[in-house]
Copies of this chain bind each other. A is one copy, B any other.
Amino acid sequence: MKNKIKVGIVGYGNLGQGVEKAIAHHRDLELVAVFTRRPREIKTLSKAVSIDDIFTYQNAIDVLLLCGSSAGDLPHQGPLYAKAFNTVDSFDIHAEIPSYYAVMDNAAKSGNSLSIISIGWDPGLFSLARLLFAGILPQGESYTFWGKGVSQGHSTAVRQVPGVKQAVQYTVPVRETVKQIRQGLTPKLSPQEQHERICFVVPEPDADPKDIENSIKSMPGYFAGYNTTVHFISETEFAHEHTGMPHGGFVIRTGSTGTADKQQMEFRLSLESNPEFTASVLIAYARACHMLHKTGERGARTIFDVPLGCLSPLSNSDLRKSLL
């Protein structure tokens, strides 16, 4: 395929590595380089380039995928690179999205570029589902369930408990609640009624499992109030069973129309690799970013602003023929 869309990756954590792996499946895109602070130390599959040289790539890259963290990297990197490149990022601090949007909109406009922010699955595809469902069924109730999947924040919290050597925390939808919701009931639910928490812990040899379990279960803001289960396992079992990054969840809405009370819409994800899937969403929106920039769009956009037709490499007329 000629004229592939040229993509660069900034940041080489789980997400950047996910993009590098997943992009091979998208034949109309081509990875030009991974930009990193440590091009010599980090072992990338593709070309690694010092982040200091990134601006020399302005004419060689169509879209930059910003794969840094929302707290530490994007507030600085986003506006810096949006002034010179089209960008797609996964900024996910809900409360700060409006201010981040404003900053990115200014930067991208000043750079004559287009920046699509907060892409991924939540925020991202799940946001899109919530919007779509409420637009069609304004009278109704939406629920978002996450899991079964690893919560990084909760896993980190468990690892900080004294006596814990290694740990992972899975967030799991409460089965009985899910059953009710799928039946079309629309109860008011507390967070604790929606999800339970399951921890797998490798204790230090001299630690008391009872103390660890109590510390975890009573941790305010993370576990207190939740149905929490703590399993103690060996390092070997941990290495074999708990180092993947599966995730998923679903958005569901039951609403009423004229006479029917139970019109139900659901969008569900079940993911073997959360980072590779999130990366794949970013890649599809890189395609859209390039396409919309070519038609003259400038400034910041979110997932709500992008016609889904832009996510496909097919032309509009082929889409109408083959997919509608």
Contacts and interface: CB of A to CB of B under 8 A. Distances in A.
A38 B136 CA distance: 30
A266 interface: yes
Contacts of A317: 98
B265 A312 contact: no
Contact of A135 (B20, B279, B303, B308): B308
Nearest to A318: B98
B264 A324 contact: no
Give how many copies assemble into the complex: 2
Contacts of A280: 136-137, 257, 263
Contacts of A258: 18, 20-22, 24, 273, 276, 279
Contacts of A139: 25
A131 to B, nearest CB: 5
A131 B319 contact: yes
Given A25-B256, A128-B308, A304-B308, A284 B97 contact: no
A293 interface: no
Contact of A307 (B130, B277, B283, B307): B307
A320 interface: yes
Nearest to A265: B269
Contacts of A101: 320
Nearest to A287: B135
A90 to B, nearest CB: 12
Interface in A258-285: 258-273, 276-277, 279-281, 283-284
Interface in A122-158: 123, 125, 127-128, 130-132, 134-139
A39 interface: no
Interface residues of A, number: 71
Contact of A264 (B135, B257, B270): B270
Contacts of A309: 131, 302, 304-305
B264 A269 contact: yes
Interface string A73-98: 00000000000000000000010011
Contacts of A118: 324
A26 interface: yes
15 contacts: A97-B324, A131-B309, A131-B311, A132-B311, A134-B323, A135-B308, A136-B283, A257-B273, A258-B279, A264-B268, A266-B269, A302-B319, A304-B308, A304-B320, A308-B308
